[in-house]
Structure 1
Amino acid sequence: VLPWDMGRQDVLDFSEELVKQVGRPVILPSGDTSRVSASIGLSSRGFEVASAKDLLEQADFALFRAKEQAAGAVVEFSSRHAESKRREVLVHQAFKNARLDREIHLVFQPIIDTHDGTISRCEALARWDSPEIGMVPPGEFVPIAEKAGMTQEMTLAVFRKVIAQLKVWPDNACIAVNLSAQDVNSQQCTDLMASMLIRQPPSLRKRISIEVTETSLLTDFTEVHKNLMKFRELGVKIALDDFGTGFSSLRYLQELEFDIVKIDRSFVSSIESNDKSFGLVRTISRLCRSLSIACVAEGVETREELEHVRAAGCHLVQGFYFSTPLTAEKMLPYLTGEESFEGMGTLVPVPRRDVA
């Protein structure tokens, strides 16, 4: 793309200028102003490559990292990226060969009703123990699965385990399952999940909730709506996760008839120091109450955060303040009431106003 005799700094300067020029406002024929942004990934033969294809893959890898940063980032392929790329290839290959029904296991993070300390439901979180490369954190294997279009098999394995767990847990136990954008936009995936559910009694189906993020609704709203309604017709609850970080359209709350809204942790983490965050949590909580939607505050990690979200009217909370994700065995005593979460006894009582 660029002359071979260009030095490294010249290439970086060129890239920065290119990003700057692309980002200049454009006056449309209508008179409106439009802006676009660009990210750049670049690579040179500073690393051993066998072909031009390898060089392009390095630049593409750097571009992927640039997109994770602020708009307009320029990222050069580095030794750190080379190691990360080798690891990604290793994890990708191991995931392709994985027998997920055996290798995936679940942990559960409770959602606490702070009125009485009971567990409203548990969010199922996948953990992968590969016999080839050992324990792989979800922050590593989930993006690789999504990038490779391999989330369906993982989601179905998780769903089978959730159903099996509900059959042995007490009848009051409820579990939330996350669906990726690929899952919720896939007729095949949602059909397979629905076929599992339809074989279960209604009493079990109503103990399951499906969590989707706002961004997963932006691709094909009509298809997503159709797919989610399969679950609603079977008695499964639908939750909107990370509310406030995406488009936050009230259309979603109206047309998809969510049962649960989860306020993103970014609002909770700043709720002590930022009056606007407190106001937003309070507003979302009131909106949910007026629509008969349960409202959950995510990412509560301190006593102060807990008191602030409760003062804002949100009494269902999830976060490390009460518990890190637990195995099924460690969660059981909390479900049966044999154990309780620390800190509940000192909470100031508040009037019960949440929906069931």
Structure 2
Amino acid sequence: MNGLHLGLFTFDDALCVQFMNEQLRIVLDLSDDAAGAGSDLQTFIESSPILASTAVQQVLAACHDAVLTRRLKLLEISSNEKGIFYFSIRIEPLPDQTFLATIVDMTAQRVAEARAVEEAMCDPLTGLPNRTLFEDRVVAALDRNASEGVDGPAVMVIDLDRFKNVNDTLGHLTGDGLLRLVSKRLQGMMRQTDIIARFGGDEFAALISPAPDLQSVSLLASRIVDVLSRPYLVDGHLVNIGASVGVAVTPLRGSTYAILLRSADLALYDAKSRGRGTSSLFQPTMDVRAAARRQNENDLRKALALREFSLHFQPQIDLQRNVIVGFEALLRWHHPERGLISPMEFIPLAEEIGLIVPLGEWVLSQACLAASCWPSDISIAVNVSPCQFGDTDRLIDAVAEALAAADMPGSRLELEITESVLLQDADRVLDALHRLRAMGVRVAMDDFGTGYSSLSQLHSFPFDKIKIDRSFVKDRADDRGQDAVIRAIAALGGSLGMATIAEGVETPEQLARIREGGCKIVQGYLFSRPIPVEEVDLMIARHNSKKNTDN
């Protein structure tokens, strides 16, 4: 029995030790002069320096109970007398009226299990608690609030702004380093009773428990935005990001984890909708807005499935020749109950929930089919969302399929993009634009003059057309300044071999300014509102007839 890999001993009805093996000395850390065979059980067990008094009493009680009942006894004990130890003990009666006790050291196994549980509860990148552990801590804080009457917790959901740009431009290793620095800054702003967790990606959460007064919670949220927005030095790179924070405090919103977290998420959405880089405290009215938004999402998905969308077309006029040279395809949603819904309302939502890609593909297909029935010298302009450039191969395939289905050459299709497209992943986007150009498709920069770096973007790709934003066309008190901008853009386009088009022309006075500024192509309500496809042929015929009459 001395060769067995477990400690064991036998004892009799009088609780006197009869035998012990050498492995038991190792398991219980017994010295050579410690009590052994022939000693009473209590003295024997107490001679182990690693068993605390509580553990000794548990073993003695189990042995005594086995003697009284002559039944098998199983127990696990832990002891922290000299470190933490875990033992599994089995006591069973033998036929000769004695008892056999086996002791197995479970410390390594239990420590490994505890480590595995801890790792399952922690984010491996930052070492912070993960979503599961965060939920446990919030629930515990809520329980203390309910049972002990202590102040309830506050929950903050923290989202990093512009983090994706860091990953895309500097790589994921730099992004990981940035996340570690963010976690350290967050931990530095917390009290000992508070907890910071990472939910994944660039989303963090904070448990403030017990929550101080509302003003202090709001000030902390603002401080988080400020501290996380300060520059970081990561792998030799100076990195700038921002943060948005949503806050929910227990007295304001129920007493369950799910409700508290949902309330913080709604507050975060409110902060993002107000331009990011800010914090927002949950208000009950946010529930109403969230319900309306969910309804809009459902309606939008249904509209795509039921084809509740249609295209209207607004003509583009060549001022020198007084002819229609193209139409811009504009999306319309005819809601069965709410009527016509503005694109300004549903396009951002479609981009946010990922519907803009299939919706954009439908627009491309229908616009090309419509244009294929027009005179061959009239083009069709289609707006492309930055989201569609997330998968450039899919976008190019959609363009090719739309042209093929309409049997229309690529030279009649013009894609309008905003400069924000070039700020995503410039090399990948430029490659896609050159592939589109190889198909004969023309590319226009839309809303020119409203971005941060419009001039620099013109050098990155040879655009076919510059579309002057309508904000420069509107009548204002500083018309002379606006006129100068229009002349400068028209001259710039001419020098680069790019046509210029002004949108939003509504009055004869605006047209005169545009013409004087040197812009060659215009569109706007002065010439026509967007019209359904059924009216396009008649418009072309009437305009051409008027042109011939004028001549």
Give the TM-score category using the shorter length: 0.7 to 0.9
- Structure 1 partner of 2:457: 252
Partner of 2:364: 159
**Is it true that 1:210 corresponds to 2:415 in the alignment?**
yes
Among 428, 431, 435, the alignment partner of 1:223 is 428
State the 1:200 CA deviation: 4.8
Distance 2:293 2:486 in 1: 38
Distance in 2, Cα, partners of 1:206 & 1:318: 20
Give the stretch that moved more between structures: 173-182 or 130-139. 130-139
Q: Distance in 2 between matches of 1:47 and 1:324?
A: 48
Alignment match of 2:347 (pick from 127, 136, 142): 142
Matched, 1:305 2:513: no
CA deviation after TM superposition for structure 1 residue 223, in Å: 1.4
1:340 Cα offset (Å): 8.4
Q: Deviations over 1:78-122 (max 9, x none)?
A: 455433321211121233344457322101122222334322311
2:293 is matched with which residue?
Answer: 88
Q: Secondary structure at the match of 2:330?
A: strand
The letter of the residue matching 2:275 is: K
Superposed, 1:257-272 pairs within 5 Å as 257-269=462-474
Q: Which deviates more, 97-106 or 278-287?
A: 97-106
| Residue of structure 2 equivalent to 1:193 | 399
Indicate the SS of the match to 1:168. Answer: coil
State how 1:231-250 maps to structure 2 within 5 Å.
231-250=436-455
Q: Which has the larger radius of gyration?
A: 2
Question: Which runs of 5 or more structure 1 residues have no equivalent in the other structure?
Answer: 346-356
**Shift in Å, 1:19:** 4.8
Provide the C-alpha distance between the structure 1 equivalents of 2:247 and 2:516, rounded to a whole number of angstroms.
49
| 2:261 paired with 1:53 | yes
Instruction: Kindly state the Cα deviation for residue 209 of structure 1 after the two structures are TM-superposed.
Output: 0.6
- Structure 2 vs 1, CA of residues 118 and 66 (structure 1 numbering), >3 Å: closer, same or farther? same
Report whether the alignment pairs 1:320 with 2:528.
no
2:442 and 2:464 in contact (8 A); partners too? yes
- Tell which deviates more after alignment, 1-10 or 97-106: 1-10
**C-alpha contact (below 8 Å) 1:295/1:316 kept by paired residues:** yes
2:271 pairs with 1:66: no
- Structure 1 position 274, deviation (Å): 4.8
Mapped pair 1:114 → 2:319: yes
Q: Runs of 5+ in structure 2 lacking a partner?
A: 1-206
User: Which has the bigger relative contact order, CA under 8 A and spacing at least 6?
Assistant: 1
CA distance in 1, matches of 2:508, 2:208: 56
More off after superposition, 245-254 vs 214-223: 245-254
User: For each residue in 1:50-75, what CA deviation from the matched residue of structure 2 results, as whole angstroms up to 9, or x when unmatched?
Assistant: 5233123212221222217xxx5444
Structure 1 residues 133, 306: closer, same or farther in 2, change over 3 A? closer
Scaled by the length of structure 1, the TM-score of the pair is 0.80
Query: How much has 1:38 moved relative to structure 2?
Result: 4.9
Partner of residue 536, structure 2: 331
Q: Distance in 1 between matches of 2:213 and 2:377?
A: 66
SS of 2:307's partner is: helix
Aligned partner letter, 1:67: G
- Is the CA contact (8 Å cut-off) linking 2:318 and 2:521 kept in structure 1? yes
Q: Aligned pairs, how many?
A: 335
Q: Which moved more, 1:293-302 or 1:9-18?
A: 9-18
Deviations along 1:10-35, whole A, 9 cap, x unmatched? 444554555566667x6989xxx997
SS in 1 for 2:459: helix
CA distance in 2 between partners of 1:34 and 1:323 (Å): 48
Which of 86, 93, 103 is equivalent to 2:308? Answer: 103
Change (3 A) 1:100 1:287: farther
TM-score normalised to structure 2 length: 0.54
User: What displacement does 1:279 show?
Assistant: 2.1
Per-residue Cα deviation, 1:296-334 (whole angstroms, up to 9, x for no partner)? 122233333322222221132222333322112233322
- Structure 2 CA distance, aligned partners of 1:237 and 1:132? 38
Q: Which residue of 1 aligns with 2:387?
A: 182
Cα displacement (A) at 1:183: 1.0
**Of Structure 1 and Structure 2, which has the larger fraction of its residues in strand?**
2
- The 2-side partners of 1:275 and 1:305 are apart by 12
Distance 1:313 1:78 in 2: 52
Residues 198 and 262 (structure 1), Cα distance of their counterparts in 2 relative to 1, 3 Å cut: same
**Cα distance in 1 between the residues matched to 2:215 and 2:381:** 50
Note the C-alpha offset of 1:336.
1.6
| Mapped partners of 2:473, 2:242: distance in 1 | 30
SS in 2 for 1:209: strand
Task: Quickly say closer, same or farther: Cα 1:73–1:323, change in 2 above 3 A.
Answer: farther
What is the rounded CA distance, in whole Å, between the counterparts of 1:167 and 1:108 in structure 2? 14
Supply the distance in 2 between the matched residues of 1:3 and 1:112 (Cα, whole angstroms): 65
CA distance in 2, matches of 1:302, 1:6: 59
Distance in 2 of aligned mates of 1:76 and 1:340: 61
RMSD: 3.3
1:184 and 1:212 in contact (8 A); partners too: no
Tell me: CA distance 1:226–1:271, structure 2 relative to 1, closer, same or farther (3 Å).
farther
The percentage of aligned residue pairs carrying the same residue is 31
CA distance in 1, matches of 2:432, 2:264: 37
